[in-house]
């Protein structure tokens, strides 16, 4: 994920981020199934998708904490 993409994520609201997180989790599950079946050629995709998901969750948590303060 590039810095511009991360900056764009920070501009989204919580509802949009939640939708993106669900979509990314679905993609991650598909990649994991392909990996276990031996069909995934580029294992790095799995690692990058997991990192992207963690970034999205972190940004969402930051937004939630900002609202409570």
Alpha helices in 1-69 (DSSP H): 3-11, 14-37, 44-68
Could you tell me which of 61, 29, 45 has the C-alpha nearest to residue 69?
A: 61
Distance CA 61, CA 16 (A): 13
Range of the domain at 23: 11-64
Report if residue 21 sits inside a domain.
yes
Domain count, the chain: 1
Q: 35 Cβ partners below 8 Å, 6+ apart?
A: 43, 46
pLDDT given for residue 68 in this prediction: 87
Structural domain contains residue 6? no
Cβ atoms within 10 Å, residue 1: 13
Q: Per-block average pLDDT, block size 10, for the chain (69 residues)?
A: 93 96 98 96 96 97 91
What is the reported pLDDT for 1? 82
pLDDT on residue 69:
78
Does residue 36 sit within a domain? yes
Tell me the pTM: 0.90
Q: 30 lies in a domain?
A: yes
In a domain, 1, yes or no: no
Q: Is 43 inside any structural domain?
A: yes
pLDDT of residue 54: 97
């Amino acid at each position: 994920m590039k810095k511009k993409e991360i900056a764009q994520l920070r501009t989204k609201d919580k509802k949009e981020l939640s939708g993106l997180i669900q979509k990314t989790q679905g993609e991650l599950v598909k990649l994991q199934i392909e990996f276990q079946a031996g069909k995934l050629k580029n294992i790095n995709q799995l690692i990058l998708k997991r990192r992207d998901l963690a970034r999205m969750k972190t940004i969402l948590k930051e937004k939630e904490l900002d609202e409570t303060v």
